[in-house]
Amino acid sequence: MNRVESAMRDLTHLDEVARQQTWLHRIDARAKAITTLVYVVAIASLPRHAVLEMLPFAAYPLMLLLAAQLPLRVLTRPLLVTILLGMAIGAANPFLDRSPVRVFDGWCIAGGWLSFISIQLRAVLGVTGAIGLIATTGMERLCHGLARLGVPRGFVTQLLFLYRYLFLLGANSAAMSRARDLRSNGRPLQLSTYGSLVGHLLLRTLDRAERIHAAMCCRGFHGDIPLGESDRFGPRDAAFVAVWCLVLIAIRVSHSGNFPH
């Protein structure tokens, strides 16, 4: 199985996990979206040298992932990409910030290394929280919840279309990759071949997009997707938001004055 097919298998499994009926899956999408927003703001607001202070925030995404029973292999690929991007963003920090920062009594480290590690932790925690949110809610329910929270309908519609057609794009990519493997007789892919593959994929995608748009217009599509019946935001949902927001805010406030200098 090539890498494209493996990635699509993980995405399909994530979509299947979101259809479970655990207590957390039954929590209203708006409640989980609000709580996840507070979580992201809390970890983003920590000072640039915060490292150990960030670890307690892992409780929230860990709770989401355990409730969703998501296999670790589904997390491996997105977390690896996240770490690589974080390393690229913070690669210069250890060289640009050499000011000593006291971590423990009598032990100092360059501030650039702390900020570098902090960037990795923020990225990993943020992506893990987002994956946990999708795994316990589902993209369709999440988009419906965002629309009812006041997010512009155009943005919600584009987000939902993007997620739906990731599967279509992945299927086309996997078919092209498999055809190339069968015709290459085991030879490695040359750099010049990438341009041809991407070009053909773009042309096939545009052609499919035009046919899908024509079909949707024939069915009365005018730029908006009907959201259907709204989930009721009940006491259980309010309690979920209140408890977790208080926990996250308490963790953030408790560390407000405990950062290294």
Distance of CA 150 to the CA centre of its chain: 21
pLDDT tens across the length of the chain (261 residues): 466 677 777 778 888 888 888 888 889 999 999 999 999 999 999 888 888 888 999 999 999 988 888 777 778 888 888 888 888 888 888 888 777 777 766 677 777 888 889 899 999 999 999 999 998 998 888 988 888 888 888 888 888 888 888 877 777 777 777 777 777 766 666 666 677 777 777 888 788 878 888 888 888 777 666 665 556 788 999 999 999 999 999 999 887 655 544
Please spell the DSSP secondary structure of the chain, one letter per residue. --HHHHHHHHHHHHHHHTT---TTTTS-HHHHHHHHHHHHHHHHTS-TT-SGGGGGGGHHHHHHHHHHT--HHHHHHHHHHHHHHHHHHHTTHHHH---EEEEETTEEEEHHHHHHHHHHHHHHHHHHHHHHHHHHH-HHHHHHHHHHTT--HHHHHHHHHHHHHHHHHHHHHHHHHHHHHHHHTTPPPPHHHHHHHHHHHHHHHHHHHHHHHHHHHHTT--S-----SPPP--HHHHHHHHHHHHHHHHHHHHTTT----
Q: What is the pLDDT of residue 261?
A: 46
In this structure, the number of other CB atoms found within 10 A of the CB of residue 195 comes to 9
Residue type, 47: P
Contact 145, 137 (CB under 8 A): yes
